[in-house]
Structures are given as structure tokens and as C-alpha cells.
């Protein structure tokens, strides 16, 4: 075997299954999807379980919080040490965070891990217009559709109407 | 009168691939083919334009992994052997096709081009790609910009900002060393942007970057000039948006120029067409049929029926296409200037490897286009982004929208069921790297070598190429291995560093194999202090 062969350099090892860390990470994938992955050590589960009178009848839940609206949704996930989930969300350009925890039969939620906060990308033209650059707004109404893939003239017209009704273009 | 500007941008990138353990590597061949078919022909085009006094402007991003391969002596010699073998095949092809009117001229053309390529690289440039690029950049007609260190997909690494900082800082440092000045701009890998990235770019002296159209169009507040003027981000960096119209004319499989029936067909190749007895020595040693670069047919039509390639017809067609591209830009720019009352910039970015490798006539098309723009019109001028930014006109401030130029426009290509497993490892390694840089702030000797190599393994694991290839399916096995290799080596080395049990022989092997960025210093990952400390030495009078 060549001394630089991959098996030689990798020392026969493969990817670690666990890192012994307690972490929940959230990644924004697109305006309507997030991805979460986590690792939670048995020691952490045990110590939090003891504090809360045992977790034998609880369910492992990923609680996804809409930070801008203050609402959340629970997704039941298996109680393995590591896990991951692709999460559909409702709003583009919105902030989300998640917690991994145990939902007890009495409705209490025991948080194991807290994620970072992410913001989904926008999927449309911003309704916000900088007044210093208003002069050109008329031009955009007519020609944005050429540049925005998938937005027909009609849809663009409707979008403009809607924004007009909201007073964004008020003179 | 100049009514606007066209910025042609080429992004040259290949992942770092080096396999001294194999006499033949399919993946190293990506690099050799791109050298022969894209990078060297493009340099030849730019030098001809320069010699002929054509006032062209091209922005070229050279990814640090590609630049590292250019600088690697082992790969250079392996490329020499590769070209010598092709020259040998060229002689045999000239002999084989002699007397065959359809193919004889083509075989001679290939031989001529290969000889030219060999002589250009090994004699004229003495095996150094940076030299001729530096000379062209000094004229101001070529603007060289950088890309992230190992083409990491920055939005998905941003959970550890220090890892993103290191990707960009390393790129800026390597660029300055290789090309003699700090890069003014950056090509963000896959045009991928996330809120806050601009601060890191600003900290490192980068003036501008590029986004796909919707990265600019969906910015907040709404961009007054669409993609036809850059935005200034909150951190003060300019963001240029891709013009969909000019992109489509070149990129599109169905409507794009490269699909013209007179152009050379990519798929028909003697590596597949000729019997093993003949072609055996020039294909994969295991007998697997592969492309040799000797391709004698034109695209012809949408079926498998192919007719011989006629370079003269292709030449006429590319002149038409260059004229058409220019004509469309003239009208587009005239119209935009009239509508907005100021000079627009049309940004047309492409992967460099499209030119020559995929679209054989691409470099000649580019040459024709620049000549036509120079002589045949005065509506617009080719410009670099830096030139456009120096025009005396205000630019709108806005926050770009997170996006990429990948399929569906966001991060899904690099984050889906085929590659999502990768990120837990990349993030864990990035956390450990930053911690190690803090734990060993002044390592020296073997320990420093180990920490430097630790950083190399992390960087190599972070290449966006691995998740991209994993998602696309072809060569997925190689991408999986590469990602795994670097993570496994990282973790093993990390353990040895902390246990103070560094295996010097094994480390030497790693340094030889994963040899990217020989000057890298792991302290790149050390915690950055954003506050300015003013230390007054004891006993000094202020």
C-alpha cells in the first residue's frame, strides 16, 4: 500500500458517530425550509430528567419558534443521541429558533438544547422603498417582471396594486 | 457616447485534488483538462487582445484552491506527463487519419494546439500561471479577484463566523502574495450570501462581491435600479447583481450559443469510439473509457447522429454569436440608460470552465466579442467593477437578500438529503479549530506543524464541491470520501495535539498529501480582538 493511501492516512477510522457535545444547530435552507441537527448526551438527559422527576413517560420534541410572531410548533422526533430534521416553515424573511426538549404528560416542556436564531431569505421584492430613491419607482413597476423569474406581468401588476393600496407609493 | 458598461466576469475554480498515491487519477484529470482547454487558451486570448491594443476588460476570480494547484510542483510535473502522452496520441491520430479528408485536418489542428499549449505553459510561462496573469492585471484591463479559501459555502459555515473569516482572510493573503496586490473584489462561492457576511468582507478590505439577480432584486429596501447598479451593503461593501438576460444567452442549454449545431460536440470522443487495442494506453489504466479531448464531430442536431466538425463553419457561427451578444447589450444598455437617467452596468458572470472545456469555441467567442465591442460600437464600454464604482454617482444602500446562484436560488443544492450529514462534522471541526487556536496561542515546532495541518484538513473538508457533487450524483463516491478523509484526519490530529502524542511520520504524510497553502498559519483561527488596545509600556512617559 502506498504510504499516502487514504486508508493509511485515515488510520482505518471512519466518521465519528458522536462528539460528546450538547448542541442544536439551525440552518436556513430557503424561504420555506430550515434544517436542524443535534447531539444530546445521555448525561444531560439524565441530569435534567432527575431534576424533573424522570423522563420515562415524556416525548422528545423539537420546538420550532417563530421569533417574529411568538408562536411555536412541536415536531416529535426520536429520542436518539443524534438527529436531524428538515423543517417546513410558513414565512419568508422571518426569524426562527428551536429547542430540543422533552414534553411531559402534564404538558410541561423540559428544554435540553437551544438553537441559534436564523432568518429565512425573502422570496419577493421588498415592499420597503427608500424615499431618497423614490424617483425611479415608476420604472420598477413596469420592468421588474422582466427580471424576476416566474413573476408574470399580471402578478407584478397585482403586487404593485397591493403595495399601492398599502400606501407604499403614496405621493 | 458611452451610455453604460458591461462587466464580464469569469469564475475559475476547481477543488484541490492531488493524488500522489495513484499513478492515474480521474479527478486530477479535471485539472489537466481545464489547464489545456480553458485556462491556457484564455490566457492566450487575453495576451492577443493586449498585443493588438484592444481595450478589453475582464474580471477573473481565481479560487485559492485552483491557484494552489497552479503552484504545486508535483501537479505541474504530472501535467507535463499528461500533455506528453496526449502529444504522443496526437502523432498517432495524425498518422491514423492521414488521407481521410473529414478528420485529417482536425487531427492536425489538435496536434498543433497541444504543441502550442505545451510550449506556452512550460517554455513561455516556465510553468507559472501567476506571472502572465500578474502582467495582464498590471495593464488594468484584467481585474483579478479572489474567492473563499477552499470555496467553502459560506452561509452554511456561518454558525462559526471565525471559520468564514479564515476562509476569506486566507484567500486575501494568498492572492496578495501570488498576484502582488490585495484583491479588490471577491467571488463568493456559488454567489452564496447570508446577512452579516459583508462585515467580514469589509474587515478584510474587500470592496465588492457578486450576487445572483434575486440577491439584489429582493434586497431591502427595494433596489431602485434593479440589478443594473450595485447596492452598498450595511457594512459598506458593493454588491453587484447578475443580469439574467446576458447570462441566459450563454448559459442556457436550449437557447444558449454553446448548443449551436455547428459547434463541436463534447460527448463524441475517440476515447469511446476507437477500439481498445488502439486507445488502451490513453484511457483509464483499468480499461474504463474516458474522454481524451480528440473530438471530431459537431453537435449536428438533437439526435445521436453526428457529422464531422468543420472549424471554419464554427468560426463563422461564433462571429455571428459575438455580434448578436454585442447587439443585444447595445439595445439593453441604451434602453436602461434612458429609463434610469444614469449609466447602467450589465454584469455577465460565467464559470470559466464553460469556455473551452464545455464550449470548445468559448475562448474564441470571447476574443471576437472584445474585438467587436472595441471597433464596432460606442454605446457601451467593457468595465471592471472597480472602474464602475469609481464613477462619480451615488449608490443606493440596501441589505442584500440571502441567496445563491444554484438551482432554486437558495441553499438547497448544498443542503439536502444527500449532503446534510456533512454539516454537523464541519461545524464541530470548526469549533474545535477555533478552540485549539485559543488553547495553543504560541505553538512552535512539531506542534505548530500539527496545528497548521489541522487547519488545512478543516479547510479541505469545507469545499462546497463535496456537497455539490454529493447532490448531483455523479462521482458522489469521490466527494464522500474526500469530505470523510479530511474530517477523519482532522479528528485524529486534534486528538494527538491534545494528548501531546503527535505522530511525526504520519503528520509528514498528511503534509505531503493535503499540501494546500504551505504558508498557512493556524493562528488565523485565533479569537479576533475587535477592540483597539493602547498599551503604554511601564516607565515610559506619555
CATH number, domain of B31, equals: 3.20.110.10
Whether A122 sits inside 8 A of B224 (CB atoms) is no
Asked if residue B540 belongs to a domain, the reply is no
Q: What is the pLDDT along chain B (542 residues), one digit of tens a residue?
A: 899 999 999 999 999 999 999 999 999 999 999 999 999 999 999 999 999 999 999 999 999 999 999 999 999 999 999 999 999 999 999 999 999 999 999 999 999 999 999 999 999 999 999 999 999 999 999 999 999 999 999 999 999 999 999 999 999 999 999 999 999 999 999 999 999 999 999 999 999 999 999 999 999 999 999 999 999 999 999 999 999 989 888 877 677 899 999 999 999 999 999 999 999 999 999 999 999 999 999 999 999 999 999 999 999 999 999 999 999 999 999 999 998 889 999 999 999 999 999 999 999 999 999 999 999 999 999 999 999 999 999 999 999 999 999 999 999 999 999 999 999 999 999 999 999 999 999 999 999 999 999 999 999 999 999 999 999 988 999 999 999 999 999 999 999 999 999 999 999 999 999 999 999 999 999 987 644 444 444 544 43
Give the pLDDT of residue B1: 82
Give the pLDDT of residue B255: 76
Residue at a domain's end among B376, B408, B440: B408
pLDDT exceeds 70 at position A145 = no
Shared domain for B46 and B30, answered yes or no, is yes
Whether B398 sits inside 8 A of A136 (CB atoms) is no
Whether A16 sits inside 8 A of B415 (CB atoms) is no
Interface predicted TM-score (ipTM) over 0.90: yes
B21 to chain A, minimum CA–CA distance in Å? 5
Give the pLDDT of residue B542: 36
Question: Residue B243, SS3?
Answer: coil
- Taking each helix axis as running N to C, give the angle between helix B40-51 and helix B130-138, from 0 to 180 degrees, rounded to the nearest 10: 30
Shared domain for B56 and B191, answered yes or no, is yes
Other Cβ atoms less than 10 A from the Cβ of B127: the count is: 16
Question: Residue B523, SS3?
Answer: helix
Q: Provide the edge-to-edge strand list for the sheet that holds A23-30.
A: A23-30, A33-39, A82-88
Identify whether the C-beta of residue A92 lies closer than 8 Å to the C-beta of residue A31.
yes
Residue at a domain's end among B408, B429, B451: B408
Residue at a domain's end among B361, B385, B408: B408
Shared domain for B377 and B487, answered yes or no, is no
Q: Pinpoint the alpha helices (H) of B231-304.
A: 244-251, 270-273, 276-279
Asked if residue B267 belongs to a domain, the reply is no
Give the pLDDT of residue A111: 96
Rounded CA-CA distance B293/B277 in Å is 18
3-state SS, A7-72, equals HHHHCCCCCCCCCCCCEEEEEEEECCEEEEEEECCHHHHHHHHHHCCCCCCCEEEEEEEECCCCEE
Would the pTM of this model clear 0.95, i.e. be above it? Answer: no
Whether B402 sits inside 8 A of A27 (CB atoms) is no
Shared domain for B341 and B464, answered yes or no, is no
Shared domain for B157 and B61, answered yes or no, is yes
Rounded CA-CA distance B35/B353 in Å is 9
Question: Which fold is adopted by the domain A10-119?
Answer: Immunoglobulin-like (2.60.40)
DSSP-derived secondary structure letter, B399: B
Nearest to B145 by CA among B343, B346, B389: B389
Residue of B401, B460, B495, B512 to mutate for A, most A C-beta atoms under 10 A: B401
pLDDT exceeds 70 at position A147 = no
A164 to chain B, minimum CA–CA distance in Å? 14
Other Cβ atoms less than 10 A from the Cβ of B113: the count is: 17
Shared domain for B363 and B472, answered yes or no, is no
- Taking each helix axis as running N to C, give the angle between helix A137-147 and helix B311-340, from 0 to 180 degrees, rounded to the nearest 10: 160
pLDDT confidence band for A135 (50 / 70 / 90)? low
A105 to chain B, minimum CA–CA distance in Å? 31
Cell output for B119: 510550449
Whether B217 sits inside 8 A of A30 (CB atoms) is no
Identify whether the C-beta of residue A121 lies closer than 8 Å to the C-beta of residue B205.
no
Domain with residue B499: its CATH number is 1.20.1430.10
Nearest to A25 by CA among B163, B166, B428, B487: B428
Whether B217 sits inside 8 A of A35 (CB atoms) is no
Rounded CA-CA distance B137/B153 in Å is 27
Rounded CA-CA distance B137/B58 in Å is 10
Q: B116 CB contacts (<8 Å, ≥6 apart)?
A: B44
pLDDT exceeds 60 at position A148 = no
Through-space distance between the first and last CA atoms of chain B, rounded to whole angstroms: 59
Q: Which of B409, B488, B506 sits opposite A15 (nearest CB)?
A: B488
Nearest to B294 by CA among B70, B160, B107: B107
Shared domain for B481 and B341, answered yes or no, is no
pLDDT confidence band for A168 (50 / 70 / 90)? very low
Count the domains in chain B.
2
Shared domain for B346 and B208, answered yes or no, is yes
Question: Residue A86, SS3?
Answer: strand
Rounded CA-CA distance B291/B264 in Å is 14
Asked if residue B506 belongs to a domain, the reply is yes
DSSP-derived secondary structure letter, A96: E
Rounded CA-CA distance B280/B277 in Å is 6
Nearest to B400 by CA among B259, B212, B204: B212
* Each residue's pLDDT tens digit, A33-72: 999 999 999 999 999 988 888 888 899 999 999 999 999 9
Shared domain for B450 and B469, answered yes or no, is yes
B397 to chain A, minimum CA–CA distance in Å? 9
In Å, how far from its chain's centre is CA B482? 19
Cell output for B173: 493573503
Asked if residue B258 belongs to a domain, the reply is no
Identify whether the C-beta of residue A82 lies closer than 8 Å to the C-beta of residue A18.
yes
Cell output for A165: 393600496
Asked if residue B145 belongs to a domain, the reply is yes
Asked if residue B451 belongs to a domain, the reply is yes
Nearest to B433 by CA among B419, B448, B451, B416: B451
Q: Which of A86, A126, A134 sits opposite B218 (nearest CB)?
A: A126
Please list the residue range(s) of chain A that carry CATH number 2.60.40.10. 10-119
SS3 content of chain B, % helix, strand, coil (to 5): 55, 10, 35
Q: Which domain holds residue B151?
A: 4-252+324-408
Other Cβ atoms less than 10 A from the Cβ of A112: the count is: 21
Residue of B163, B190, B197, B221 to mutate for A, most A C-beta atoms under 10 A: B221
Whether A147 sits inside 8 A of B425 (CB atoms) is no
Asked if residue B489 belongs to a domain, the reply is yes
Shared domain for B428 and B365, answered yes or no, is no
Q: A56 CB contacts (<8 Å, ≥6 apart)?
A: none
B48 to chain A, minimum CA–CA distance in Å? 35
Question: Residue A82, SS3?
Answer: strand
Q: Which value, to the nearest 10 degrees, does the dihedral of the CA atoms of residues B134, B135, B139, B140 take?
A: -10
Chain A to chain B, count of Cβ pairs less than 8 Å apart?
145
pLDDT confidence band for A169 (50 / 70 / 90)? very low
Give the pLDDT of residue B527: 84
Which residue, chain included where needed, has cell 440608460? B337
DSSP-derived pairing of the beta strands B185-187 and B208-211: parallel
Shared domain for B141 and B169, answered yes or no, is yes
Identify whether the C-beta of residue B77 lies closer than 8 Å to the C-beta of residue B28.
no
Cell output for B436: 485549539
In Å, how far from its chain's centre is CA B493? 30
Identify whether the C-beta of residue B67 lies closer than 8 Å to the C-beta of residue B147.
no
Q: B31 CB contacts (<8 Å, ≥6 apart)?
A: B14, B17, B69, B75, B79
Q: Which value, to the nearest 10 degrees, does the dihedral of the CA atoms of residues A107, A112, A117, A123 take?
A: -60
Whether B489 sits inside 8 A of A29 (CB atoms) is no
pLDDT confidence band for A144 (50 / 70 / 90)? low
Rounded CA-CA distance B364/B231 in Å is 33
Whether B224 sits inside 8 A of A6 (CB atoms) is no
Shared domain for B195 and B246, answered yes or no, is yes
Amino acid at each position: 500500500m502506498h504510504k499516502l493511501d487514504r486508508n493509511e492516512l485515515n488510520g482505518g477510522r471512519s466518521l465519528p458517530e458522536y462528539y460528546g457535545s450538547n448542541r442544536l444547530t439551525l440552518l436556513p435552507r430557503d424561504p420555506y425550509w430550515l434544517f436542524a441537527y443535534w447531539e444530546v448526551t445521555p448525561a444531560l438527559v439524565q441530569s435534567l430528567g432527575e431534576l424533573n422527576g424522570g423522563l420515562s413517560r415524556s416525548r422528545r420534541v423539537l420546538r420550532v419558534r417563530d421569533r417574529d410572531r411568538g408562536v411555536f410548533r412541536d415536531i416529535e422526533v426520536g429520542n436518539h443521541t443524534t438527529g436531524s430534521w428538515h423543517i417546513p416553515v410558513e414565512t419568508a424573511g422571518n426569524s426562527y429558533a428551536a429547542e430540543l426538549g422533552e414534553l411531559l404528560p402534564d404538558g410541561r416542556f423540559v428544554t435540553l438544547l437551544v438553537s441559534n436564531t436564523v432568518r429565512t431569505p425573502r422570496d419577493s421584492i421588498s415592499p420597503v422603498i427608500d424615499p431618497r430613491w423614490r424617483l425611479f419607482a415608476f420604472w420598477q413597476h413596469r420592468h421588474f417582471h422582466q427580471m424576476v423569474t416566474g413573476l408574470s406581468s399580471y402578478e407584478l401588476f397585482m403586487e404593485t396594486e397591493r403595495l399601492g393600496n398599502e400606501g407604499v407609493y403614496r405621493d | 457616447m458611452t451610455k453604460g458598461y458591461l462587466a464580464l466576469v469569469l469564475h475559475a475554480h476547481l477543488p484541490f485534488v492531488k493524488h500522489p498515491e495513484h499513478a492515474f487519477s480521474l479527478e486530477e484529470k479535471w485539472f489537466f483538462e481545464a489547464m489545456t482547454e480553458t485556462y491556457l487558451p484564455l490566457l492566450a486570448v487575453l495576451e492577443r487582445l493586449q498585443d493588438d491594443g484592444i481595450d478589453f476588460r475582464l474580471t477573473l476570480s481565481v479560487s485559492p484552491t485552483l491557484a494552489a494547484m497552479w503552484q504545486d510542483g508535483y501537479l505541474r510535473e504530472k501535467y507535463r506527463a499528461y500533455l506528453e502522452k496526449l502529444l504522443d496520441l496526437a502523432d498517432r491520430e495524425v498518422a491514423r487519419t492521414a488521407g481521410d479528408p473529414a478528420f485529417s485536418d482536425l487531427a492536425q489542428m489538435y496536434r498543433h494546439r497541444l504543441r502550442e499549449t505545451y510550449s506556452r505553459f512550460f517554455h513561455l510561462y516556465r510553468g507559472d500561471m501567476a506571472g502572465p496573469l500578474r502582467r495582464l492585471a498590471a495593464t488594468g484591463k484584467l481585474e483579478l479577484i479572489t474567492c473563499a479559501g477552499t470555496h467553502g459555502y459560506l452561509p452554511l459555515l456561518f454558525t462559526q463566523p471565525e471559520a468564514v473569516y479564515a476562509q476569506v482572510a486566507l484567500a486575501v493573503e494568498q492572492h496578495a502574495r501570488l498576484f502582488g496586490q490585495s484583491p479588490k473584489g471577491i467571488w463568493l462561492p456559488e454567489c452564496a450570501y447570508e446577512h452579516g457576511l459583508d462585515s467580514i468582507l469589509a474587515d478584510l478590505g474587500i470592496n465588492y462581491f457578486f450576487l445572483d439577480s434575486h440577491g439584489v432584486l429582493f434586497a431591502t429596501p427595494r433596489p431602485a435600479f434593479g440589478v443594473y447598479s450595485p447596492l452598498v451593503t450595511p457594512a459598506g461593501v458593493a454588491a453587484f447583481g447578475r443580469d439574467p438576460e446576458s447570462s441566459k444567452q450563454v448559459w442556457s442549454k436550449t437557447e444558449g450559443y454553446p448548443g449551436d449545431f455547428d459547434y463541436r460536440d463534447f460527448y463524441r470522443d475517440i476515447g469511446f469510439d476507437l477500439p481498445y487495442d488502439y486507445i488502451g494506453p490513453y484511457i483509464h489504466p483499468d480499461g474504463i473509457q474516458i474522454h481524451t479531448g480528440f473530438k471530431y464531430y459537431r453537435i449536428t442536431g438533437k439526435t445521436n447522429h453526428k457529422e464531422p466538425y468543420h472549424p471554419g463553419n464554427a468560426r463563422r457561427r461564433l462571429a455571428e454569436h459575438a455580434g448578436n451578444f454585442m447587439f443585444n447589450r447595445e439595445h439593453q444598455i441604451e434602453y436602461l440608460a434612458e429609463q434610469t437617467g444614469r449609466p447602467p452596468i450589465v454584469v455577465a458572470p460565467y464559470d470559466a470552465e464553460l469556455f473551452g472545456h464545455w464550449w470548445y469555441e468559448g475562448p474564441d467567442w470571447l476574443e471576437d466579442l472584445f474585438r467587436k465591442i472595441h471597433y464596432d460600437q460606442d454605446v457601451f464600454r467593457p468595465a471592471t467593477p472597480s472602474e464602475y464604482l469609481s464613477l462619480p454617482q451615488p449608490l443606493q444602500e440596501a441589505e442584500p437578500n440571502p441567496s445563491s446562484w444554484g438551482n432554486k436560488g437558495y441553499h438547497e443544492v448544498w443542503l439536502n438529503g444527500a449532503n446534510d450529514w456533512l454539516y454537523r462534522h464541519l461545524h464541530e471541526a470548526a469549533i474545535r479549530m477555533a478552540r485549539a487556536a485559543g488553547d495553543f496561542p504560541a505553538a512552535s515546532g512539531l506542534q505548530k506543524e500539527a496545528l497548521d495541518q489541522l487547519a488545512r484538513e478543516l479547510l479541505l473538508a469545507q469545499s462546497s464541491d463535496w456537497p455539490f457533487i454529493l447532490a448531483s450524483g455523479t462521482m458522489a463516491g469521490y466527494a464522500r470520501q474526500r469530505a470523510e478523509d479530511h474530517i477523519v484526519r482532522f479528528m485524529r490530529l486534534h486528538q494527538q495535539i491534545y494528548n501531546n502524542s503527535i505522530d511525526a511520520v504520519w503528520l509528514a504524510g498528511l503534509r505531503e498529501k493535503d499540501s494546500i497553502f504551505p504558508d498557512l498559519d493556524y493562528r488565523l483561527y485565533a479569537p479576533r480582538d475587535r477592540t483597539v488596545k493602547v498599551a503604554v509600556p511601564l516607565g515610559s512617559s506619555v
